[in-house]
A and B are shown apart, each in its own frame.
Chain A
Amino acid sequence: MRTGSTALLIEARGITVRFGKVTALDGLELTADPGQVLAVLGPNGAGKTTFVRCLATLVRPDSGVLRVRGQDVVRDAARVRKDIGLAGQFAAVEPTMSGRENLEMTARLFGHGRTAARRAASAVIEQLDLGEVADRRSSTYSGGQRRRLDLGASLVGSPRLLLLDEPTTGLDPASRSEVWAAVRGLAAAGTDILLTTHYLDEADQLADQVVVIDHGRVIATGTLSELKGSIGQDVIEIAVADPRQLPAAAQIVSQVTSGPARREPTGQRLTAPAPGGPGQLGEVIARLAGASIAVDEIGLRRPTLDEAFLALTGATESTDDRSVSAGQTTIGSRS
């Protein structure tokens, strides 16, 4: 049954998808309101891509109900397709065609007439800042330009929900920030976006809401600060002025917080969970001063998404060697 404009953006009830013996989604439950950027975060093989493919009507769930804006992805597939735009893991643009030709073609396939398609392509070219390369063959584009073009192709039908499956996987840092800027621009202009990522900083940069999935199930959901808060403790972070005093500082910190202090791989920096919050920070400051240890920087902060993520998935981690990375690790894609 379809509902009006008050419908949820996404409503997933008990979605299960099996490929042979592999269970990709295992009773996934998720609801999301319109008007946001939602990041689906999870380790490789968690089911992120399968979930996007279900939303894009490419995979039928074996059981469960999945609705996009109140429309069932199986029974109302044709309507759902009018509402979504998909940019998959590979830039699905035709390399022998120019950016403009690619966009006009996709616009026609969304149902635009010739003139409207031309207008839509021009609008997207301007929006994604592709003007300079629009009339060159897309085979000559840089990785970031090609990905932006692919993003554009998913936009020419003005979708109500944009699905981005690992939009920056395999891109160099400069291209990543290009794509991030484009996604932010779209979100600011009011496009609802669901993106999957295994880069924590990407979710941090782009998303209002984060859903963490693992083994085909949602294991946490909330805003970024809720998610960070859900592992509770704030973190004391210290940068000492003299690296030789690092061990002494670490000892003080772990005495105060009654836990181990972690030495960060870069620089003379220490972090430690501080269950006692600001009180413990005050005590650390006093004791460091007492021991004449000079600090460049000291403070109490919320845990990073990395720290939250590891705490969340650590509990369900099995013996396989899946890994999550906050940086530029390339992780193989689901075939």
Chain B
Amino acid sequence: MTAFEAPGRPARAPSTASASGQVAIRALRKYIRTPGLSLMGVVQSVLFLFSFRYVFGGAIHAGGTSYVDFLVPAYVASIVLFTGGGIAVAVAEDKVQGFTDRLLSLPVSRYSLVLGRTVADSATNVWSIISTAAFGFLFGFRLPGSWQDGIAALGLCVVYAVVFTVVFIVMGLFAPSGQAAQGMSLIAFVFAFISSAYVPATSMPGWLQPFSKYQPLTPMVDAVRSLLTGSTSDVGLALAWCALLVVLFTPIAVIRYRRA
């Protein structure tokens, strides 16, 4: 064995941007190079959409609009609640398998762990959003307004994806294992289903309606539906929820990562 040719010691620690970039690139590579994540995630969400559209949809009355037009915007808006489990699992596994320890032993800013992860997982969610929206069109969804309204609505969906990514990161940080993270992320289904996303909230029993009305996903979904028709009603409330979730969960994520 030859003597170790020391490559030299870096003069300074990496910038937060550079470290976040490395964290993000690695998470993205893992996602893209694991077909079980990048392809099956989309297949799964398309199958869900297919079931609602063609299996349950016929039995659901969505008021004035056709069910596919009612469903698709809401489904795309809430897609992160279904894909987010994967984020929580990835974060929990990094912690259990020592990857987070390695990162924390390096001279990187503690913020870069959360920032890099958020950037990467938001990117994968954009992929889910766009591919699911494309299938929505294939299954018969048509824009009620202009394409600019469609882009605005899609943009809002991306904002939701970023926000919930942070929430799922926190979930993963509290989970003792990848499997536990998977289990914990099922709680998101409660918010997805007891909302105005899949059925009109007014069809639920009276005691359930307050939860549906005051939980964050309902205004978020309603805001996407309004944007599609060129209206901005509920958008303010939806963004307020986004701000609240980010303000609440980001510090928890940063602190919890430090203690991982």
Q: How far is the CB of A148 from chain B (nearest CB, A)?
A: 12
Question: Does A185 lie at the interface of the complex (its beta carbon under 8 Å from any beta carbon of B)?
Answer: yes
Q: Give the docked Cα–Cα distance between A181 and B1 (Å).
A: 8
A111-B11, A111-B12, A119-B7 known; A94 and B99 CB under 8 Å?
Answer: yes
- Residue of B26, B98, B107 with most chain A CB atoms under a 10 A cut-off: B107
Question: Does A157 lie at the interface of the complex (its beta carbon under 8 Å from any beta carbon of B)?
Answer: yes
Q: Which residues of B contact A109 (CB under 8 A)?
A: 14, 19, 22-23, 103, 106-108
Q: Chain B interface residue count: which class?
A: 35 or more
A154-183 interface (Cβ within 8 A of B): 154-158, 163, 181-182
Q: Give the docked Cα–Cα distance between A120 and B9 (Å).
A: 10
B156-185 interface (Cβ within 8 A of A): none
Q: Chain A interface residue count: which class?
A: 35 or more
Q: How far is the CB of B81 from chain A (nearest CB, A)?
A: 26
Q: Give the docked Cα–Cα distance between A84 and B105 (Å).
A: 8
Q: Which of A90, A129, A163 contacts B97 (CB 8 A)?
A: A90
Q: Which residues of B contact A127 (CB under 8 A)?
A: 1-2, 4-5
Q: Which of A96, A110, A129 contacts B14 (CB 8 A)?
A: A110
Question: Does B3 lie at the interface of the complex (its beta carbon under 8 Å from any beta carbon of A)?
Answer: yes
Nearest CB to that of A101 among chain B residues?
A: B29
Q: How far is the CB of B257 from chain A (nearest CB, A)?
A: 11
For A24-59 the 0/1 string (1 means CB < 8 A from B) is 000000000000000000000000000001001110
Question: Does A86 lie at the interface of the complex (its beta carbon under 8 Å from any beta carbon of B)?
Answer: yes
Q: Give the docked Cα–Cα distance between A57 and B105 (Å).
A: 7
Q: Give the docked Cα–Cα distance between A86 and B104 (Å).
A: 10
Q: How far is the CB of B67 from chain A (nearest CB, A)?
A: 40
A86-B102, A88-B101, A116-B10 known; A105 and B1 CB under 8 Å?
Answer: no
Nearest CB to that of A119 among chain B residues?
A: B7
Q: Which residues of B contact A181 (CB under 8 A)?
A: 1
A105-B25, A109-B19 known; A56 and B105 CB under 8 Å?
Answer: yes
Nearest CB to that of B11 among chain A residues?
A: A111
Of the listed stretches A186-194, A260-268, A284-292, A313-321, chain B binds A186-194
Q: Which residues of B contact A111 (CB under 8 A)?
A: 10-14, 107
Identify the B interface with A (CB < 8 A). Answer: 1-14, 18-19, 22-23, 25-26, 29-30, 33-34, 97-99, 101-108
Q: Which 5 A-B pairs have the closest CB atoms?
A: A111-B10, A120-B7, A189-B4, A185-B1, A92-B98
